[in-house]
Amino acid sequence: MCRLFPLFFLALSSAVYALSSTGSRLLVVTEDSAADKEKYSTFWSDLESRGYRLAFEAPKNDKLALFQHGERAFDHILLLPTKSKGLGPSLTPNLLLEFISNNGNILLALSAESPVPSAISSLLLELDVHLPPDRTSLVVDHFNYDTISAGEKHDVLVLPKPSALRSDVKNYFGSGGLIAFPRVVAQELGSSSQLLTPILRAPETAYSYNPKEEAENVAEPFAVGSQISLVSSMQARNSARLTVLGSVEALEDAWFDRTVQGPEGKAVKTSNRAFAKSLTGWTFMEIGVLKVGKVEHHLSTLSDSKSGNDSVAQLGYLNPKIYRIKNDVTFNIEMSEYSFDHFSPFTVIPDDKLQLEFTMLSPFHRLDLQPISTTSNSTIYSATFRLPDQHGIFSFRVNYKRPFLTNVDVKREVTVRHFAHDEWPRSWMISAGWVWIAGIWVTILGWVAFVALWLWSEPAYEQNQGKKRQ
């Protein structure tokens, strides 16, 4: 009976301890932990209910270390605004970049009421994310603001949840409702990096300005309209994530279930709590995480009497190292998507394609992978094609990289050989060779006829030809 208690405890802990796909250790960097615990109590409780272990540390704590024994001491970092210009020796831009390089995730929250530390500005500049140079600018919008709390300053933006970035990109952040963004710090994303993606852009009527300037008209604003990114994301090549939230006040308890009203709208409750869950879930890799299961390829034979996947039958064993030119080959890949606490079958949205490349130096085939079967936690995609008439070292490659999804790059190398001597088709099966075959037989038959005619055509001799005449 005593032996059952450890097993029961393990099963119970696994049932209630829903973790991120990369870990549960979350470092919260804040100067005033007591005040922030009270101000963001609902936000902290939501994170703890999802299995995160929160560690509150001051930015200039000498005992703080992001790495121990060459490994990450934390899985995720949440940086709250600070009043000091620096973050201490343990949170330098180089260490934060090293943290990302070691598959760590960072959520960076800003506020127009607190100047941005130079370490944060340097870090974002390395990632091609630009902040206002004066460090105190905020975003205002005279057409999309909360008339209840910001009737004069118009610095509390009321916006709908983000829509899909493109028709072929899955939307993890928008499901209806309004979000309140008080005193947002504008961000401008550089165009040279493909790793940056805006989660929420400002409306066309918004602009960034310094409230310390008393001028009625802003001559040269930092950014205007859709140039402003209110919430930005960066996913590195190793799929580590960094998110910049322009308004930390949006995570406060006061704005999680607050009544707001636009200039021409009716009073509604905010959806900040749901948006905070989606934002932290994506940043800390609870959603948008792809997993590759089995990867298989094999020889196939096609049947004309059947249709669809039933027309393909496997020949030989799985994953051979060598094929022959013009073989029919089937490639299968199993993919899952992590959704908060479990893996579910990965489904490609209608406007997107999951493709297979059969490539040497360049792709010889680029084919759409089609779903052929689904399990409780995965989807199997497949494609059948004929190998090219080219020998060499080829690769089956699935290179799937989309915004808000972890990168998938699967590569399997195989050798493609020529026909063996006994695999070439016989000459009489090649229609182009019939002329030469006919020529050979005509020559043979002609020679036989000539010999027969020569043998049976002896000339006649006269009987008295050899006698002497007198």
State percent of the chain over pLDDT 70: 91
Phi, psi dihedrals of residue 416, rounded to the nearest 5°: -115, 120
Look at residue 12 and tell me whether its pLDDT is greater than 50. no
Q: Over the stretch 430-451, which tens digit does the pLDDT of each residue have?
A: 888 889 899 999 999 999 999 9
| More reliable by pLDDT, 262 or 100 | 100
> What pLDDT was estimated at residue 197?
94
Instruction: Report helix angle 118-126 to 93-101, nearest 10.
Output: 40
Q: What is the DSSP string of 153-192?
A: T--EEEEEPP--SSTTS--SS-SSSEEEEESPPPBEE-SS
In one-letter notation, the amino acid at residue 463 is: Q
Contact 148, 137 (CB under 8 A): no
Q: Over the stretch 316-330, which tens digit does the pLDDT of each residue have?
A: 789 999 999 999 999
Report the C-alpha gap between 369 and 358 in whole angstroms.
12
H-helix or E-strand spanning residue 41: helix 41-49
Instruction: Report the chain's C-alpha Rg in angstroms.
Output: 36
> What pLDDT was estimated at residue 151?
83
Look at residue 458 and tell me whether its pLDDT is greater than 80. no
Nearest CA among 189, 183, 59, 202 for reference residue 124: 189
Report the C-alpha gap between 422 and 425 in whole angstroms.
8
Report the C-alpha gap between 212 and 67 in whole angstroms.
40
Contact 381, 370 (CB under 8 A): yes
pLDDT range class, residue 5, cuts 50, 70, 90: very low
Q: By CB neighbour count within 10 A (0-12 exposed, 13-18 middle, 19+ buried), where does 190 fall?
A: exposed
Q: Over the stretch 224-237, which tens digit does the pLDDT of each residue have?
A: 888 999 999 999 99
Look at residue 218 and tell me whether its pLDDT is greater than 60. no
> What pLDDT was estimated at residue 463?
63
pLDDT range class, residue 421, cuts 50, 70, 90: confident
* Mean pLDDT of all residues in 281-306: 88
Contact 183, 136 (CB under 8 A): no
State percent of the chain over pLDDT 90: 63
Report the C-alpha gap between 339 and 342 in whole angstroms.
6
Length of the chain: 470
Cα dihedral 279→280→286→289 (10° resolution): 50
* Mean pLDDT of all residues in 389-406: 95
Contact 312, 384 (CB under 8 A): yes
Cα maximum dimension of the chain: 158
Average pLDDT, the chain: 87
Interior/surface letters 379-404, b for 16+ CB within 10 angstroms, e for the rest = bbbbbbbebeeebeebebbbebebbb
Report the C-alpha gap between 329 and 299 in whole angstroms.
5
* Mean pLDDT of all residues in 146-166: 89
Q: Over the stretch 272-284, which tens digit does the pLDDT of each residue have?
A: 999 999 999 999 9
> What pLDDT was estimated at residue 6?
43
- Ranked by mean pLDDT, which of 140-144, 301-305, 333-337 comes out on top? 333-337
Number of neighbours of residue 258 by Cβ within 10 angstroms: 18
Q: CA 226, 232, 234: angle at the middle one, nearest 5?
A: 130
**CA 369 vs CA 24, 383, 400, 409: distances in Å:** 34, 5, 11, 15
State pTM to two decimals: 0.84
* Mean pLDDT of all residues in 20-44: 90
* Mean pLDDT of all residues in 401-411: 95
| Beta-ladder partners of 232 | 198, 244
pLDDT range class, residue 45, cuts 50, 70, 90: very high
Report the C-alpha gap between 64 and 59 in whole angstroms.
8
Look at residue 199 and tell me whether its pLDDT is greater than 90. yes
